[in-house]
Amino acid sequence: MSKLTLEQAKAKWDYIFRDPLLTLTSLREKGVKGNFCSNGLRSVCWKLYLSYLPSVDTSTWSLTLNKERQHYADLRQKYITSPTSESDLDNTIDLNVNHPLSLDES
């Protein structure tokens, strides 16, 4: 399996997404029949198959992707903290409680 050139990828993109009769169902059927969404377009097809992208209408994708990226960034900020963040350095950490083998359940 060789990598597509830019021109080949554009041609394949146009072949897939410029079809006025394209629906999610028809895209899935074409994908099941063969190697329709491969060589660089597989990630786009999977985003459609898994309903990450709302429809085959490419005009809605930019807004959706930006919204999902922002949601991911918000989750990262909420749940991933730096071990050397200033808030941790300012507080006195009780090492009798805050270590992996602690039996303290508080």
In whole angstroms, give the CA distance from residue 85 to residue 75: 17
In whole angstroms, give the CA distance from residue 77 to residue 79: 6
Query: Does the pLDDT value for residue 79 go beyond 80?
Result: yes
Residue 95, in any domain of the structure: no
Query: Does the pLDDT value for residue 66 go beyond 80?
Result: yes
DSSP 34-49: SS-S-TT-HHHHHHHH
Residue 74, in any domain of the structure: yes
- What total number of domains does the chain contain? 1
Residue 45, in any domain of the structure: yes
Q: What is the pLDDT of residue 86?
A: 62
Q: What are phi and psi of 19, to 5 degrees?
A: -70, 115
Q: What is the pLDDT of residue 53?
A: 92
In whole angstroms, give the CA distance from residue 15 to residue 80: 42
Mean pLDDT confidence for 11-22: 87
Instruction: Show the domain range for 53.
Output: 6-81
Residue 72, in any domain of the structure: yes
Please give the angle made by the CA atoms of 23, 53 and 60, to the nearest 5 degrees: 85
